[in-house]
Amino acid sequence: MTPAEHWALWRVDPRATPFQSPAWTDAWWTHLGGGERLDAVVRGADGQVVAALPLFVWVDGPVRRLVPVGAGHSDYLDALVDARTPEAVPALWDAILATRDRWDELLLPDLRADSPLLDAPPAGWVAEDWPGETCPVLTLPADGPVLAALTKSQRRKIVHDRHRADHLGGVTTGWGTGDAIPEALDALFALHGSRWAAAGEAGVLADPRVQAFHRAAAPALDAAGLLRLAVVRHGGEVVAVLLGFGDVCAGYSYINGTAFTPGQSFGTLAFAHLIEGAAAEGAGAFHFLRGEEPYKYGWGAHPTHTVRRVVRRA
End-to-end CA distance of the chain: 31
pLDDT of residue 147: 82
pLDDT of residue 86: 82
**Alpha carbon 245 to its chain's center:** 7
Between the alpha carbon of residue 36 and those of residues 2, 56, 64, 99, 234, the distances in Å are 18, 5, 11, 11, 47
pLDDT of residue 57: 98
Q: How confident is the model at residue 270 (pLDDT cuts 50, 70, 90)?
A: very high
Does residue 153 surpass a pLDDT of 90? no
pLDDT of residue 204: 94
Task: Note the pTM of the prediction, 2 decimals.
Answer: 0.95
Does residue 264 surpass a pLDDT of 90? no
Distance CA 62, CA 70 (A): 22
Domains in the chain, CATH or no CATH each: 3-133+306-313 (3.40.630.30), 137-287 (3.40.630.30)
Stretch 270-283: mean pLDDT = 94
pLDDT of residue 260: 83
Instruction: Give the bridge partners for 52, in sequence order.
Output: 41, 80
**Rg of the Cα atoms in the chain:** 21
